[in-house]
C-alpha cells in the first residue's frame, strides 16, 4: 500500500493594501472650507440676517423720510440732503456686524471646538487653510451683500419715488456706490476671519471687530478737530464708508483712496493671522 505525500503548497503572500494617493491641493482645501461653512446652521441664519438688515433698515429709513416729508414740518439737514442711495445703504452699519461676527466664528469657532487640529493635520502647510477660509467667506459675503444693497436700492427707490430723494440707477456714481458697499461688506467678512484666526477666541475676535468699526470712531470724535481731520479718514469704518458714499467732503477720502486704505487694514489683519498660524501651535 503506497502512501501519497502531498507537498505543502507555498503560502500565498497577502495582497498589500493599496491606498489611493491623495494630494492636498488648493482646490480641495477650498472645497473643504466651502462644505464646512454651509454645514453650519449659524451660516444660514447670520447671512439671512445680514440680508434682512440691508433691505429692512433701508426700507424703514425710506418710509421714515417719506413720512417726515409729508408731515409738512421743516426737514432736518440730514433728511433734506437724503438720497435714495444714502437711504438704501443705511443698513450697512448693522449688516457689517452680522457678517463680521460670522467671519470670526468661521475661524475662531474651530479653535473653541478643537476641529482646527483635524484641519491642520489634513493641511500641514497651514496657510492654505487661512487663505481658503478668507476667500470662501469673503466671496460669499461679497455676493450676498451686493445683492442685498441692489435689492434695497430698488425697494427704497419705489418708496421715495416722486420725492427730492429719488435717484435713478443711471445717475453718475450710483452703480459704483452699490458695488462699493458690497465690496466693503465682503472685506469686513475677510477681516472677521482674520481676527478669529489671530485671536483664536470668539469673544476676543468679536470685541476687536466691534471696537474697530464702532467704538474707535467715537473715541476719535473726542479728539481736537485738527486731529480728527488727520486720523478719522483713515479709520477702517471711515475708509469703508468713502467706498460707497455718493458725495465726499473735503476731509473724506476719495472712493479709490478709501478702497486702498481699507485693503491695507484687511492685509494687515491677514498678515497677523498668518504669522500666528505658522508660528504658534494649534
Q: What is the DSSP letter of 168?
A: -
Q: How far apart are the first and last CA of the chain?
A: 77
Kindly tell me the burial class for residue 252, based on how many C-beta atoms sit within 10 Å of its own C-beta (0-12, 13-18, 19 or more). middle
pLDDT value, residue 174: 94
Higher pLDDT, 113 or 22: 113
Question: What integer is the mean pLDDT of 8-21?
Answer: 54
* Whole-angstrom distance, CA of residue 113 vs CA of residue 90: 35
pLDDT value at 1 more than 50: no
Q: What is the pLDDT of residues 216-254, one digit of tens each?
A: 998 988 888 778 888 999 999 999 999 999 888 878 899
pLDDT band at residue 10 under the 50/70/90 scheme: low
Residues 98, 198, 205, CA angle at the centre, nearest 5°? 30
Residue whose C-alpha cell is 435717484? 167
Higher pLDDT, 80 or 255: 255
* Whole-angstrom distance, CA of residue 124 vs CA of residue 208: 28
pLDDT band at residue 144 under the 50/70/90 scheme: very high
Please, are residues 58 and 163 in contact by the beta-carbon 8 Å criterion? no
Neighbours of 281 (CB within 10 A): 5
Report the share of the chain in percent with pLDDT over 90: 62
Q: What is the pLDDT of residues 54-85, one digit of tens each?
A: 999 999 999 988 887 777 666 676 666 789 99
* Structure-derived torsion over alpha carbons of residues 235, 262, 95, 182, reported in degrees to the nearest 10: 150
Amino acid at each position: 500500500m503506497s502512501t501519497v505525500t502531498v507537498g505543502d503548497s507555498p503560502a500565498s503572500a497577502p495582497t498589500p493594501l493599496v491606498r489611493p494617493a491623495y494630494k492636498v491641493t488648493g482646490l480641495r482645501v477650498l472645497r473643504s472650507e466651502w462644505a464646512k461653512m454651509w454645514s453650519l446652521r449659524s451660516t444660514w441664519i447670520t447671512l439671512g440676517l445680514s440680508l434682512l438688515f440691508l433691505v429692512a433698515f433701508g426700507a424703514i429709513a425710506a418710509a421714515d423720510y417719506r413720512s417726515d416729508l409729508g408731515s409738512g414740518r421743516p426737514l432736518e439737514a440730514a433728511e433734506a440732503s437724503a438720497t435714495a442711495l444714502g437711504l438704501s445703504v443705511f443698513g450697512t452699519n448693522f449688516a457689517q456686524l452680522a457678517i463680521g461676527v460670522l467671519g470670526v466664528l468661521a475661524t475662531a469657532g474651530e479653535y473653541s471646538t478643537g476641529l482646527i487640529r483635524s484641519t491642520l493635520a489634513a493641511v500641514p502647510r497651514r496657510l492654505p487653510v487661512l487663505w481658503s477660509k478668507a476667500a470662501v467667506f469673503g466671496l460669499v459675503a461679497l455676493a450676498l451683500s451686493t445683492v442685498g444693497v441692489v435689492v434695497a436700492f430698488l425697494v427704497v427707490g419705489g418708496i421715495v419715488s416722486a420725492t427730492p430723494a429719488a435717484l435713478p440707477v443711471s445717475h453718475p456714481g450710483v452703480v459704483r456706490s452699490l458695488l462699493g458697499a458690497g465690496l466693503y461688506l465682503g472685506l469686513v467678512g475677510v477681516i472677521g476671519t482674520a481676527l478669529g484666526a489671530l485671536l483664536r477666541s470668539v469673544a476676543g475676535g468679536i470685541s476687536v471687530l466691534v471696537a474697530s468699526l464702532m467704538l474707535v470712531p467715537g473715541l476719535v470724535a473726542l479728539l481736537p478737530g485738527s486731529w480728527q481731520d488727520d486720523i478719522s479718514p483713515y479709520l477702517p469704518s471711515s475708509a469703508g464708508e468713502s467706498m460707497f458714499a455718493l458725495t465726499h467732503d473735503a476731509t473724506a477720502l476719495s472712493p479709490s483712496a478709501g478702497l486702498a486704505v481699507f485693503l491695507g487694514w484687511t492685509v494687515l489683519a491677514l498678515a497677523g493671522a498668518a504669522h500666528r498660524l505658522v508660528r504658534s501651535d494649534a
